[in-house]
Chain A
Amino acid sequence: MFASIRNRTIIIALLVVGSIFALVPRSITLRERDPQTGVMRDTVVKQVPIKRGLDLQGGMHLALELDQSKQVSSDPKRDIELALTVLRKRIDEFGVTEPLIQKVGDSRIVVELAGITDPARAKAIVQRSAFLEFKITDKTRALEKALPSMDRTLRALGVKGVDTGGAKRPSAVEQLLGADTVKKTGDSTKKAADTTRKGKDTSTKAVAARTKGGDSTAKGADTTEKAADTNSVPGGVLESLIQAAGGQTPGEFMVAETAFPRADSLLNLPEVHRLLPRGVTLRWAATPTSVGVQSYRYLYALDEKSIVTGSNLEDARAQLDPLTNGPIVTFELDRAGGRKFGEETGKHVGDYMAIILDGRVQGRPPVIQSRIGRNGQITLGGKGLQEAQDLALTLKAGALPIPLKIVEERQVGASLGADSIRKGITAGLVGTALVILIMVGYYRLSGVLAVLALGLYILFTFGGLAALGATLTLPGLAGLVLSIGIAVDANVLIFERIREELLLGKTIRLSVDEGFKHAMNAIIDSNVSAVLTALFLFQFGTGPVKGFAVTLIMGIAASMITAVFVTRTLYLIWLDRRPAMSTLSI
């Protein structure tokens, strides 16, 4: 089958046609969300069908794990699976072409988003818990009553006046120092985590946990404290920081924005937190509010029990409020959620209801004027439509079971990627030119055959990569350039062998035959061991290095075909045309 020149030429022609076919630019549909209208829109581009890695086309790679520092997962395996589904839904809605979302090992999720232009937004969408709750504000003045005893506890702990801020616990100190956004989101997720857990657990379990937590001495302290409840402590830290908002809404307080991180960390101390009566919980507003020149943060005391949560959500969409022209998110609850919501709101007419997203109260709690059914809306104060769209998107995709933390992040700008490709191509061209120079300079016409084979080698390698849907990365590109230098090795082995045979006085045709025959062993052995090392590289590597290994293996396969089969055929054709040739140009 491989014997005749005709059959050999046909096989080579088929490989060439196949490779070219695999490389013909084809239409690819990009699905994107229009930033203005928020509607998904498809654009069609022509592209060479070689997948480029994130390092070449720009994009973002994230590795995520369950963040169990705030909330311990009872079943990590299941939670990872849940998170995976939620992320898939979210990223689908987000509109990225060919996103990669996969589980790696037991506890990690890898997300790869190519061509992302706003990495911060993408990260927020991936990480946002999107846990939605509705709670009634506290009417029992629980926080006012608890404040004096809280301050006494703080004093006992060594927290002094307003400015000294000398909380002894290192964690508290750190929290005081770290008044940055990261910390804040951290806190809010913590709270969200808290509520999720409480929401999910059966009430009996929650009670049991609480009684266990408060040991007898703590209880004793509790009762003595309650006796002295009403007396306020002069110079009490919290009392000076937290003031009643003085509006209609019960359970609404304000804290100066500058003091907000400190107040938050003090309230979160377990000794302080414990003094809040059971069934009441504290939540901060999502954004600060300006009153005159001062900036304040609202703090809400709320009934711990949610009247309904986001798990009952059926649909959510972003809209512009026709009255204020500000962005809102309207939502629709499912049947069961709607019934429950209706019942609860019916009971609480005249009360105020806080809408809490990821542990933060959104806007000022509205008063419940009448029974509310399945539909409602969330007003986002002072935020863009895009924010509203992202919120709607995450709400619809569902809440994450456990917050996720980013344990690895790589991000490459599109311009850097394009630059890398340009450099790789330059290096490739220069390298190829040098190799051609050496081969033709040394082996003359036979060298030309080797160069022809090299041309096919490059074509086959790219064609193979395209056909297999392998990803070309920056190290892969470097490996490809390097392999051009190494690929001629097989030809060099064969040519040297032919020269030796010629020197032994054999005829040209016999020398060529023998040369190929004798070189085969060495070629096969060296290529197999190279594939072995490449396989291990593939096994251990992450994205870019995997790409390198794939390119290497593809290159070795292609070089076997071209150096052995193609060059041999070229020789056969050459010798066939010039049967009377007396010296071989080698």
Chain B
Amino acid sequence: MTRFFANANYDFIGVRKYAYAITAAIILPGLLFLLVKGLNYSIEFTGGTLLQITAKQAVDVGAVRSALDRQGIHGAEIQQFGSANEYVIRARVAKAGTDANDTQATATEVGRALDGVLGQGNYSIQRTEAVGPKVGGELRQKAFLAIFLSFFAVLAYLAYRFEWRFGLAAVTATAHDIIATIAFIAVMRLEVSLVVVGAVLSMVGYSLNDTIIIFDRVRENLRKHKKETFAEILNRSVNETLPRSVLTHGTTLATLLALTIFGGEVIRPFALVMFFGVFTGTFSSIYIASPVLMAIEQRWPGPDVRGARTTSPKPISPPPAGVARKARA
């Protein structure tokens, strides 16, 4: 049988300081970028008007923009979308002097500008969206609330199934993933649409899944190997679940690759965010969740099966002979 990482015995916990450094090196510049540049919200969240059109021939983007300017719609974005003659026009600002929550005036005006530049009948409208800022604001609130609440629900569930130490560690890793992903979205200038928020939430689910698989092993190994230190248990658990991780991440990345390449423009941001999520989720399960769990155990030692187990990470390397022998048995 083919086995990846059979009998792996990497010292994951031992190198956690380096892992922290890598995390900081990725997240801090990302957060800085986020602070400076901000997020690029889709019109679903900001309010505005979007038109996706297919033109008969290539469109002079500048001409469309200035036509929109003349109609009182300033700073519209015009973007090629997928194939050659497909364009997306986004106007976040309502036509001057109209009620922005009444979405109709701006949409009509964009249509008029297009008629002027391209000529009526030379283009067809594939998709339109017009969202009032009030609706957009409500949605933004709801999105943050959803991410926030799902957080606590998972914490509660894990606290119930494992114990609060595991739940707290898992949620810390999840928080890391969310922050890293938002930084990723900011750096890549991906548009934060509903679909992308959906991707962030799925990523949270996926990363938690990964963490839970490892913690489940930890729980089991704590019972099985009463003599080992907590750090050894963690290392053993991560190593034992490595083959599974490689396989599952492999199949997930395979489908995400298919989505990125064949899924079309609307789905691509979703696939990209999940793609990143798979990596950060894997990383955080090993290097955030496990060390945080150890830190929590050191600070507030658990009273249960661990008994008199020492939580000090001292004797982790080299691993005791018994560990290696048992794994190979």
> A526 to chain B: which residues have CB within 8 Å?
208-209, 212-213
Does the CB pair B264–A411 fall under 8 Å?
A: no
Given A408-B135, A486-B206, A496-B243, residue A416 in contact with residue B126 (CB < 8 A): yes
Does the CB pair B103–A407 fall under 8 Å?
A: yes
Contact digits for A393-425, partner B, Cβ 8 Å, 1 yes 0 no: 000000000000111111111011001100110
B250 at the interface (CB under 8 A from A): yes
| Nearest neighbor of B107 in chain A, beta-carbon distance | A409
A211 at the interface (CB under 8 A from B): no
Contact digits for A524-538, partner B, Cβ 8 Å, 1 yes 0 no: 011111101111110
Does the CB pair A534–B205 fall under 8 Å?
A: yes
A49 at the interface (CB under 8 A from B): no
B21 at the interface (CB under 8 A from A): no
Given A475-B195, A542-B194, residue A181 in contact with residue B205 (CB < 8 A): no
CA distance A439 to B261 in the complex (A): 21
Most buried by A among B1, B2, B98, B248: B1
CA distance A183 to B3 in the complex (A): 71
CB of B224 to closest CB in A, whole Å: 11
> A430 to chain B: which residues have CB within 8 Å?
258, 261-262
Given A174-B97, A408-B103, A529-B212, residue A475 in contact with residue B135 (CB < 8 A): no
Most buried by B among A67, A427, A542: A427
CA distance A442 to B127 in the complex (A): 44
In the complex, 14 of the A-B residue pairs with CB atoms within 8 angstroms, ordered by the A residue number, are A174-B96, A182-B109, A408-B130, A410-B130, A434-B258, A475-B267, A475-B270, A486-B251, A486-B252, A526-B213, A529-B154, A535-B150, A541-B194, A545-B198
CB of A484 to closest CB in B, whole Å: 5
CA distance A67 to B101 in the complex (A): 10
Contact digits for A207-237, partner B, Cβ 8 Å, 1 yes 0 no: 0000000000000000000000000000000
A552 at the interface (CB under 8 A from B): yes
Partner of B263, one of A63, A423, A525: A423
> A549 to chain B: which residues have CB within 8 Å?
198
Does the CB pair B259–A482 fall under 8 Å?
A: yes
Given A407-B103, A434-B258, A488-B248, residue A522 in contact with residue B263 (CB < 8 A): no
Can you add 10 more A-B contacts, CB < 8 Å, to A182-B105, A492-B248, A533-B153?
A: A181-B108, A405-B99, A408-B132, A410-B128, A413-B127, A424-B267, A485-B255, A505-B329, A529-B154, A548-B198
CB of A415 to closest CB in B, whole Å: 7
> A478 to chain B: which residues have CB within 8 Å?
195, 259, 263, 267, 270-271
Partner of B258, one of A416, A419, A481, A529: A481
> B195 to chain A: which residues have CB within 8 Å?
475, 478, 544-545, 548
Does the CB pair A409–B128 fall under 8 Å?
A: yes
Does the CB pair B145–A525 fall under 8 Å?
A: no
> A528 to chain B: which residues have CB within 8 Å?
157, 161
B216 at the interface (CB under 8 A from A): yes
A431 at the interface (CB under 8 A from B): yes
B222 at the interface (CB under 8 A from A): no
Does the CB pair B154–A485 fall under 8 Å?
A: no
A499 at the interface (CB under 8 A from B): yes
Q: List 7 A-B pairs, minimum CB-CB distance, nearest first.
A: A485-B255, A431-B255, A431-B258, A434-B254, A540-B146, A536-B150, A526-B209
| Nearest neighbor of B270 in chain A, beta-carbon distance | A478
Contact digits for A235-250, partner B, Cβ 8 Å, 1 yes 0 no: 0000000000000000
B77 at the interface (CB under 8 A from A): no
CB of B281 to closest CB in A, whole Å: 12
B292 at the interface (CB under 8 A from A): no
> Which residues of B, 269-325, contact A by the 8 Å Cβ criterion?
270-271, 274
CA distance A482 to B252 in the complex (A): 7
CA distance A518 to B224 in the complex (A): 13
Does the CB pair B198–A475 fall under 8 Å?
A: yes
A293 at the interface (CB under 8 A from B): no
CB of A344 to closest CB in B, whole Å: 37
A339 at the interface (CB under 8 A from B): no
Size class of A's contact patch?
35 or more
CA distance A409 to B263 in the complex (A): 24
Does the CB pair A530–B258 fall under 8 Å?
A: no
B142 at the interface (CB under 8 A from A): yes
B52 at the interface (CB under 8 A from A): yes
Number of chain B residues close to chain A: CB under 8 A = 83
CA distance A552 to B274 in the complex (A): 14
Does the CB pair A540–B142 fall under 8 Å?
A: yes
Partner of B108, one of A180, A420, A441, A500: A180
Contact digits for B114-129, partner A, Cβ 8 Å, 1 yes 0 no: 0000000000111111
A426 at the interface (CB under 8 A from B): yes
CB of B286 to closest CB in A, whole Å: 16
Given A484-B255, A529-B205, A533-B201, residue A420 in contact with residue B264 (CB < 8 A): yes
CA distance A549 to B201 in the complex (A): 10
> B107 to chain A: which residues have CB within 8 Å?
409
| Nearest neighbor of A119 in chain B, beta-carbon distance | B128
> A431 to chain B: which residues have CB within 8 Å?
254-255, 257-259
Does the CB pair A407–B135 fall under 8 Å?
A: yes
CA distance A525 to B108 in the complex (A): 51
> A527 to chain B: which residues have CB within 8 Å?
209
Does the CB pair A427–B263 fall under 8 Å?
A: yes
CA distance A41 to B126 in the complex (A): 28
Does the CB pair A411–B127 fall under 8 Å?
A: yes
A294 at the interface (CB under 8 A from B): no
> B252 to chain A: which residues have CB within 8 Å?
482, 485-486, 489
| Nearest neighbor of B208 in chain A, beta-carbon distance | A529
> A510 to chain B: which residues have CB within 8 Å?
none
CA distance A484 to B247 in the complex (A): 13
> Which residues of B, 196-241, contact A by the 8 Å Cβ criterion?
197-198, 201-202, 204-206, 208-209, 212-213, 216-217, 220, 240-241
CA distance A63 to B244 in the complex (A): 46
B40 at the interface (CB under 8 A from A): no
CA distance A201 to B52 in the complex (A): 46
Does the CB pair A426–B262 fall under 8 Å?
A: yes
Does the CB pair A405–B264 fall under 8 Å?
A: no
| Nearest neighbor of B197 in chain A, beta-carbon distance | A545
> B149 to chain A: which residues have CB within 8 Å?
536
CA distance A485 to B247 in the complex (A): 10
Does the CB pair A410–B262 fall under 8 Å?
A: no
CA distance A428 to B126 in the complex (A): 24
Does the CB pair A540–B143 fall under 8 Å?
A: yes
Given A413-B124, A548-B198, residue A504 in contact with residue B103 (CB < 8 A): no
Given A407-B101, A434-B258, A522-B212, residue A412 in contact with residue B126 (CB < 8 A): yes
Partner of B255, one of A434, A475, A518, A537: A434
B67 at the interface (CB under 8 A from A): no
CA distance A505 to B328 in the complex (A): 11
Does the CB pair B157–A539 fall under 8 Å?
A: no
CA distance A425 to B158 in the complex (A): 36
> Which residues of A, 148-192, contact B by the 8 Å Cβ criterion?
174, 177-178, 180-183
Given A533-B150, A544-B195, residue A412 in contact with residue B127 (CB < 8 A): yes
Does the CB pair B3–A499 fall under 8 Å?
A: yes
